[in-house]
Amino acid sequence: MNRKASNATPFLVGFFLLAAGVPCAFAQSATDDKKDHDMSAAAKLLPGPPADGSFIPDPVYPEPYDPQAQLDIYGAKHMNPNPTGVPPVELGIRLYDRGAYTPRPTWLFGPKDPVHFGFMSYGDLRIAADSYDNGNGKGKQDVVAARLNLDMDLALTPTERIHAFARPLDKNNSFTRYVFSGTDKDKFIHNFDFDLDTLFFEGDLGQITGGLQNKAASFDLPIAIGRMPFVAQNGVWIEDAFDGAAMSFTAKNIPSLDVSNYDITFFAADAQVTTAAAAGSKNGVYGVSGFADALKGYIEFGYGYLKADNGDLSYNNVTAAFTRRYKGRLSNSIRVIDNFGQKGIPGQAKTADGVLLLLENSLTPKYLKLAEANQSNFVPYLNLFAGFRSPQSLARGGDAGGVLRNTGITFESDGMTAYPTLDATARKSYGGAGGLEYLFDLAHQIVVEGSVVQRMSGNTLGSQYGIGVRYQQPISPDLIIRFDAMKGWLQGQKDIYGVRAELRLKF
């Protein structure tokens, strides 16, 4: 389309010049009339230009320019390769995709929650060579064992998926292994199991209902249903997989109480709940778990009722924890687990009727030559515990170790073999573990630890003392090597020891 030529008249031109000139004239007049300027009373008007030396010289940069030296100012940060690269099985929407997507189908949950199909399979393979004597009377054991963790993830939409997990190389916590010496000398023992350990659906009920109504989601309500894993308080309170359902109210806040963020999760299960307090595959559990950022720290809390196959072994379990950093140096966590309400089997001791107190402490030294380069890399720690009567987690998987697993490396099982540990049950016991952890450049780790277990009245087992050492480092972005050694002195029992080396390949 042709544009028309301008037909501006002299009147319009003059009007434009008048409109532009009048504000300028008033501004100049106001400037001329106001000789004194308002300024801070603390400021001093100089009579002339500043004298020489009033300002420091401009910076001088050496030549040639060194870009790496400028990056080193910020801790020599650099790009790291993806630790797993591309998953070995990847269909549909990829993990590291680029560019715009074609319009997505909407037949599942509607236009507001379009289909975002993608399937991936990934995990890690662990191979460990152990030599140990765990004091069970079988003598020295030399074994190589393997564990394969295989995750399978089917994404339906950006917020909904079906997830499955399997461990094909172990069955009932007995791992595929070759025994060089011990009770099964020169013997290959295979325990292949292709059953699914977890299979569950998870998504956001707010996104689903919004999509079905063709409206933007008005709320967030994450849900999960199926045989699902559940971990709370770093696995201290719950670390298990069971048949059930859960829903969470997330990212809430209470300004009047200075709670900047909190989550609450309700969960229920009717089978496959594991606890040392009650054997059985039909154990159920019902409870609530949550956390809150408040009181300049981190609060965790929970309540659960474990309904055992044998009703006399059912029990209530309540927990609370508070974590905070003090003076920028001391990190402290206080955790309490209380079991109550178990009737118990007549003539037998109750299995879940105790209280467990855990104190976890780590220190960032202020004056230490070894830590001058990066003080946060050097971490002395001291973790203490006291278990009254028979405390229990609400639920713990068979290979999750004892409730003291996080107290120290001498309490931590490798989850593959019968590698020895000190008594990690905390039953009528008290003690702790103290050690030094050095992380070098955050790519290597060494830990040296000493630990002790003392007994309370009513526990006839003797005292235990242990030392442990760990070193691990990555060989490549996908491969990690780790070495462990421990020695335990058990009063009234045979001493224990173990050394092991492990390769972990992530894919």
How confident is the model over 256-273, as pLDDT tens digits?
999 999 999 999 999 999
Check pLDDT > 50 for residue 15.
no
Looking from the CA of 282 toward its CB, the CA atoms found within 13 Å total 3
The pLDDT value given to residue 18: 42
Q: Where in 89-181 does DSSP place strands (E)? A: 89-92, 118-133, 141-155, 161-166, 170-171, 174-175, 177-181
Which of the four pLDDT bands, split at 50, 70 and 90, describes residue 7? very low
The confidence score (pLDDT) of residue 16 equals 40
Distance (Å) of CA 53 to CA 48, 56, 154, 337: 15, 7, 69, 67
- State residue 83's pLDDT score: 58
**Beta-carbon neighbour count of residue 422 at 10 Å?**
26
On the question of pLDDT at 333 being above 60, the answer is yes
pLDDT of residue 304: 98
Q: Could you tell me whether strands 445-455 and 395-396 are parallel, antiparallel, or unpaired per DSSP bridges?
A: unpaired
Whether the Cβ atoms of residue 362 and residue 384 lie closer than 8 Å to each other: no
Q: How confident is the model at residue 373 (pLDDT cuts 50, 70, 90)?
A: very low
Q: What is the pLDDT of residue 437?
A: 94
pLDDT at 371: 40
Q: Would you state the pLDDT for residue 48?
A: 84
pLDDT-derived band of residue 375, with 50, 70 and 90 as boundaries? low
**pLDDT at 1 exceeding the cut of 50:** no
Highest mean pLDDT among 179-193, 240-254, 439-453: 240-254
Mean pLDDT of the chain: 87
Q: Which amino acid is at 173?
A: N
Digit-coded pLDDT (tens) for 191-220: 999 899 999 999 999 999 999 999 989 999
Among 88-102, 229-243, 267-281, the minimum mean pLDDT is found in: 88-102
Tell me the mean pLDDT in the region 387-410.
94
What is the predicted pLDDT for the residue at 432? 98
Question: How high is the pLDDT of residue 6?
Answer: 42
Binned at pLDDT 50, 70 and 90, residue 5 comes out as very low
More confident residue, 113 or 357: 357
Q: Which tokens sit at 438?
A: 């050095």
Quick check: 329 pLDDT over 50? yes
pLDDT of 322 above 70: yes
Smallest CA-to-CA distance from 392 within 341, 345, 452, 466 is with 341
Q: Indicate whether 123 pLDDT > 80.
A: yes
pLDDT of residue 377: 82
With 50 as the cut, is the pLDDT of residue 85 above it?
yes
| Contact call for residues 252 and 263 (beta carbons, < 8 A) | yes
Give the pLDDT band of residue 488 (cuts 50, 70, 90): very high
- Is residue 286 pLDDT above 90, yes or no? yes
Give the lowest-confidence range in 27-41, 60-74, 288-302. 27-41
Average pLDDT over residues 297-326: 96
Q: Is the confidence at residue 278, as pLDDT, over 90?
A: yes
Q: Is the pLDDT of residue 81 over 70?
A: no
Q: What is the dihedral of CA 261, 267, 272, 276, to 10 degrees?
A: 60
